[in-house]
Amino acid sequence: MQKSLFSSESVTEGHPDKICDQISDRILDECLKHDPQSRVAVETCTKTGMILMMGEITAKSNIDFNKIARETLRDIGYTREEFGMIWDKTATLVHIQEQSPDISEGIQGDELGAGDQGMMFGYACQETNELMPLPIDLAHKLAMKLTNVRKNKILEYLGPDGKTQVTVEYEGDQPKRLDNVVLSAQHLEEIDLKDLRKDISEKVIKPVCDNWLDNETKIHINPAGKFSKGGPYADSGLTGRKIIMDTYGGYCRHGGGAFSGKDPTKVDRTGAYLARYIAKNIVASKIAKKCEVQVSYAIGIAKPVSVYVNTFDTSEIEDNKITDMVKEIFPLKPGDAIAHLKLDSPKYQKTSNYGHFGRKDPDFTWENTDKVQDIQNYFKISD
């Protein structure tokens, strides 16, 4: 069978873009905690010693934006001068106003209309237990492990910033092995790179990737050399700049919208969660081995203007018939999706790291496979 390589990447929570995603989602959670009907569209940017929060909020709550920003930095681990940012010495700026009344009036009515136009994609496949593509699954797990060994003081010299990347070799559409692993970890100045590379290999890469490694797998740890200055000191950060690693690592199409800092009336977020929910249930029901779903909306209109399903010739059922099933049994209107998936509760900060999909957490309701029986009943499939 034909061999091919596919790569996906992830970053740790100390990456400057992810700092911004976390602050934006932490603000959203604080608004939803006091008012589930909050309307929130907040973006954050950061550079050395500075955080700016900007956007629109309409909510029945008083938010201490400065406290949220600084405490997020503290929780991530920016507590030492050596890492280029200190949480309680960071300047914070706020430029937030109320949601546009035109948008507010346009999405309210007898039923909740979409908060914007746009198209969103969801995907699922049988490559992992989480029904996610293997490259992004491993990249996220490496980033999580890197954070775990730092926060649990197994490797105390690590800093908050870090990046991972894995390249999987496929035979046909089946993953067979890891061709290469790339990992860059921020560290204290005095640490010897030889020791760091040995520690990262033993404590991070092997525990996560061991089943996929072989004698020919190439491993690159801090390939550029020293990485002592990271985070906002080394690079500016902005909410919504990591949309590919937030989803499927480039494995399927993307509608272009970011998630963090947006309340669930924004279909960039809810539509993408809904599309994943649909695709995962289709694959979990075993009517297809892989599935991509697109939903698209017009601002102010509840019913999606289109629904698209592609099973890549892995199903014995025609895609148009699966699309008809989706329209019948899934909650496609934004208000129905919000209610069914319980999206108006504060749970979004933890989505902002290590991917919004493929996570085993009861708050990630779009990962539930509670529609499998309905799908099988629709097509009269018995176990």
Confirm if 61 and 34 have CB atoms less than 8 A apart: yes
Which two structure tokens, joined as six digits, stand for 281?
């249930």
The pLDDT tens digits of the residues spanning 134-149 come to: 999 999 999 999 999 9
Residues 347 and 270 in one domain: yes
Q: What average pLDDT does the chain have?
A: 95
Q: What is the DSSP letter of 88?
A: G
The pLDDT tens digits of the residues spanning 286-335 come to: 999 999 999 999 998 999 999 999 999 999 999 999 999 999 999 999 99
Confirm if 53 and 96 have CB atoms less than 8 A apart: yes
Radius of gyration of the chain (CA): 21
Residues 72 and 221 in one domain: no
- Tokens 């790291």 appear where? 353
Residue 112, in any domain of the structure:
no
Residues 88 and 122 in one domain: no
Residues 197 and 303 in one domain: no
Residue 53, in any domain of the structure:
yes
| pTM for this predicted structure | 0.95
The pLDDT tens digits of the residues spanning 43-66 come to: 999 999 999 999 999 988 889 999
Residue 237, in any domain of the structure:
no
Do the bridges between strand 50-58 and strand 91-97 make them parallel or antiparallel, or are there none, so unpaired? parallel
Q: What is the pLDDT of residue 108?
A: 58
> How many domains does the structure of the chain reveal?
3
Residues 252 and 365 in one domain: yes
The pLDDT tens digits of the residues spanning 350-368 come to: 999 999 999 999 999 999 9
Residue 235, in any domain of the structure:
no
Residues 102 and 157 in one domain: no
Residues 370 and 297 in one domain: yes
Concatenated DSSP letters for 181-216?
EEEEEEE-TT--HHHHHHHHIIIIIHHHHGGG--TT
Residue 340, in any domain of the structure:
yes
Task: Give the mean model confidence (pLDDT) for residues 219-240.
Answer: 94
Q: What is the pLDDT of residue 105?
A: 53
The order of strands in the sheet holding 50-58 is: 91-97, 50-58, 39-47, 237-238
Residue 238, in any domain of the structure:
no
Residues 206, 211, 213, 219, CA torsion sign: negative
Indicate which CATH number applies to the domain containing 177. Answer: 3.30.300.10
Q: How confident is the model at residue 383 (pLDDT cuts 50, 70, 90)?
A: low
The domain in which residue 65 lies consists of 16-107
Q: What is the pLDDT of residue 113?
A: 84
Residue 113, in any domain of the structure:
no
Residues 332 and 369 in one domain: yes
Alpha helices of the chain — where are they, by DSSP H? Answer: 16-34, 65-76, 101-107, 134-151, 193-200, 206-209, 231-234, 243-246, 267-284, 319-329, 334-341, 372-378
Residues 160 and 41 in one domain: no
Residues 31 and 73 in one domain: yes
Residue 165, in any domain of the structure:
yes
Residues 142 and 89 in one domain: no
Residues 143 and 40 in one domain: no
- Tokens 């976390």 appear where? 22
